[in-house]
Structure 1
C-alpha cells in the first residue's frame, strides 16, 4: 500500500518524513507540537507509513512519542497489518511488543463457519419475517429449528458490499453472551447468500407489544436489563467497541424462557476512530423513529446513539408502542434533532427513578448520556425498589385480612 502524495507544508510534513525515514524531520515536527497520531485522508498515520516502508528508527521514535500502535486506516489495517504484508519482521516484533494487533489477519484466520447446503432443507422452509437485508425463514438443521436469513441480490452480487457484510458476520460469529442472538454460520454451495442464527420462538419485542400492549413496570425493568446487558457486552467488546446503530423493537427477540436477546448487526460497525466521545463515526443509518439526533444531523457520533435508541424502546414498553405512531418516522426524527422533541413522561406511569434515567438516556448532548454499565446499575436499583414495594403491598393486604 503506497503512501499518497503529501503536502510538505504544515503538519502533514510529519507523514512525509515518516514514510521517507527522515528521523530529523520527524523530530522537528513533533517538537513543533504536531501529534504523532496525525492521519491523512485515508486515516493512515505516520506509524502506518513508517511500518509500511520498513523505517525501523522512525517506528521506534513514534512509539516513544506515544503513537497509537493500533490506529486503523480506512481499509481496517493497523501498522502491524502493513508491516506483516511487506514482511518487515523486525518492525512486526516491535509493534507486537507494544500490544499491536492485526485485524486483517484475524479476519482471514476466522472465516464464517460454512454449513453444507444439504444439511438445511430450504425447500420446506417457512417464511417468518423480513430482516434488514432480506427474508427470514424457519428451517431445520440437524433436527433443530433455526432461522435462515437470506441476503438480497443487490448486496450479494456487489463484491465490495458482500465483503463488508461477511466481515460483519465473522465478527458476529465470535460474540458470546446470553443476551445476544447466536450466529451459527453461512450456507455454502448456495445460489443465494444465506446465514443462519438461533431461532427465538417468541418473536420480537415489536410482536410482543403489538399483541400485549403496554407492559407492567416489573416486566419492563426485566426486559430493559436484558437489552442493556446485551448492549453493554457489545460496547465493551475488545479491541474495539461494537455500535449496533439500529436498535429497534424488531431487532430484539425473545427466547422460550422469556428473556430478550439483541440481534441483527448488519448495520453495526466496529468503532475505529477515537475522539472526544471515545469513537467517531458519521453517516445516516438505522431506523428514523429510533435514531439519535446527531445521526439524523449527520454529525460525528459514538456509542451513546445506542443509549438514545434504548430509551425509546423502554418508553414504548411502558406505553405499548410509540407515542407518535401517527407521525411519519422521518418527521419524528427531524423534530428530535432540531427541536429537542422527546416523548412525554407521565409521573402516573413512570417511576421517578425511571423517568430520570430515560431523560438522561435521550439527552441532547451525547456526553451526558450514561453508559450501559451505568444503566444496568440504575435499573437494578429500580428493580430492587419495585420488589420491596410489591412485598410491602402484599404484607399490608395480609394485615388487613
Structure 2
C-alpha cells in the first residue's frame, strides 16, 4: 500500500478508546454498521455519535458498511454526513473496500456522492507483491517461530512490521507455493479491528516471506504466562475480541474462512490492548457448504483440537468454536488444564471419552460455565455460532461492569 496518501487522512475528532471493550459507548456505531443493524445505527446517531468516528485502524462506520455490503447503512450514513473519502491507515476509502468485495451497487452509490478509490488498480491486484529491496532481511531480528517458519521484526517503509518466512520445503514446491499465494491474496482483502493485517509478500528465489502488522505486546500465550489467571471482566473482554475477529472470518463471503489452528499463540495484542487473531490466512477456505473438509489429526495443535478433527472426520466452522472454548477456559484458569499430560493424549480423551476440563464454580461464573459447555459440545451442530457467542458475552460483560461499579460505589460510601 502506498504511504504517500496517508497525509490526506482527516484529523479524527475522537480520542482512542481507553477502555477494554471498544464496541461499547460510541464505538457501538461501528459494530452496528458492520452488522447492518439500521435501528442500532439510528440510535447511535440520535445520541450524537459522530458519523466519522474511527477505530484504531482509522476505519469508520462507512468503511465497515461498504465492506460488508450493507447498502441501507451506507445510504443512511451518507445522508447523515459521513465523509465518503475518509481514509483508513492503509489509505483505503469506503469505495476501495466496496470494490475489493465486489459490492457493485454500493460502489455506484459512493461514486454518486463523490467517492474516490486512491488504490485504483492496485486494490484489484491478486496479491500485494513488495519489492525485496524494500526490506533488509540482513537487519532482521528473530522474534519467534511459527508453524511454517521463523518470524522476524523488520523495517518496511519506516515502520516496524513482522516478516514471516515460509520454509524452503514449502516455498520450493511450485504447486504448494502457488496455492499459498492464493491464500495470502485472500488475506490481503480482509479488514477488521480484531484480525492481524496482512501487508504483502516478498519474493525471494529460495524462500517466501510475507509481512504483517507487528503487535509488540506479544501473544495471549505470553500474557497468560506472565499474568496467570485474568479477572473475569478482562477475560470476557478478551473473549469478545477473539469472538468478533472469528465471527468476521466465519461470515466472510462468498466462502467462510475456517482458522483450524486457533490457539493462544495465534492471538496477539496491540499497544491499545486489543486482541487480534492471526495466521487464519494459512488455513483452508470452505468451498460451497460449510461442511466436507477432512484433515489429518496432526493438523493444528492437539491441545485445542476439536474431537471431529482428531477423529479425521468431516468438519466445519464449529471446530474453531471448540478451540475458542478451551482458550477462554485458560483465561479464567490462568493456563491450560492438565499441563503435565501429553497434548495428543488429551485430544484422544476428548475425542473418544468425551473428556473436558473441570469448571469449578469458584473460578467460573455460571454464565461462562454454561457457554463453555455449549462451545465444546461433542456434537458440532449443538455448538453456538460466534455471532451467538458475542451476544452472550456482551450480556455477561454488561453485568460484570454493573457489579464492578456497584462495588466501587459501596467502597466510596464506606
TM-score > 0.5 by shorter chain? yes
Match of 1:207 among 201, 207, 222: 222
2:279 is equivalent to residue 264 of structure 1: yes
The aligned runs of 1:103-142 (5 Å cut-off) are 110-142=125-157
Number of the residue aligned with 2:371: 357
Residue 191 of structure 1: how far off its partner (Å): 3.6
Residue 337 (structure 1) aligns with: 351
Residue 185 of structure 1 is aligned with which of 197, 200, 213? Answer: 200
- The separation in 2 between residues aligned to 1:266 and 1:178, in whole angstroms, is 16
Query: Which residue, out of 238, 243, 246, partners 1:231?
Result: 246
The superposition leaves residues 184-221 of structure 1 with CA deviations (integer Å, 9 ceiling, x where unpaired) of 00113554211100000001111111111111111101
Q: Which residue of 2 aligns with 1:383?
A: 397
The alignment partner of 1:294 has SS state of helix
In structure 2, list runs of 5 or more residues that go unmatched.
1-123
Any residues of structure 2 matched to 1:67-146 within 5 Å, and which?
A: 110-146=125-161
2:408 equivalent in structure 1: 394
Q: Distance in 2 between matches of 1:124 and 1:137?
A: 10
Counterpart in the other structure of 2:180: 165
d(CA) in 2 for partners of 1:265, 1:154? 21
Q: Which ranges of 4 or more aligned residues in structure 1 deviate by more than 4 Å?
A: none
Partner of 1:151: 166
Is 1:283 paired with 2:298?
no
Match of 2:328 in 1: 314
What does residue 256 of structure 2 align with? Answer: 241
Could you tell me which runs of 5 or more consecutive residues in structure 1 were left unpaired when the two chains were aligned.
Answer: 1-108
Q: In 2, distance between residues paired with 1:145 and 1:315?
A: 33
Distance 1:111 1:154 in 2: 24
- The residue number in structure 1 matching 2:189 is 174
State the distance in 2 between where 1:347 and 1:204 align. Answer: 27
- Distance in 2, matches of 1:312 and 1:122, equals 36
* Post-superposition offset of 1:396: 2.1
Do the aligned residues in 1 keep the contact of 2:184 with 2:282 (CA within 8 Å)?
no
Shift in Å, 1:180: 0.6
Shift of 1:279: 2.4
> Which residue, 229, 235, 244 being the options, matches 1:220?
235
Q: Distance in 1 between matches of 2:295 and 2:157?
A: 41
Distance 1:169 1:382 in 2: 36
The answer (yes or no) to whether the contact 2:294–2:309 under 8 Å persists in 1 is yes
Between the aligned partners of 1:212 and 1:250, the Cα distance in structure 2 is: 15
1:190–1:257 Cα change, 3 Å: farther
Aligned to 2:382: 368
In 1, Cα distance between equivalents of 2:329 and 2:144: 24
Partner residue, 2:5:
none
C-alpha distance in structure 2 between counterparts of 1:177 and 1:246, whole Å: 19
What is the alpha-carbon root mean square deviation over aligned residues? Answer: 1.4
- Distance between the aligned counterparts of 1:354 and 1:234, measured in 2? 23
**Taking structure 2 as the reference length, what is the TM-score of the superposition?**
0.68
- After superposition, give the CA deviation of every residue in 1:314-369 in whole Å (9 maximum; x if it has no partner): 00111111011111110000000000000000111111111100000000010110
Residue 270 of structure 1 aligns to a residue whose secondary structure is coil
In structure 1, distance between residues paired with 2:307 and 2:202: 38
Length, aligned pairs only: 290
Q: Which moved more, 1:341-350 or 1:386-395?
A: 386-395
TM-score of the superposition, structure 1-length normalised?
A: 0.71
Cα–Cα, structure 1 residues 190 and 201, in superposed 2: closer, same or farther, change >3 Å?
Answer: farther
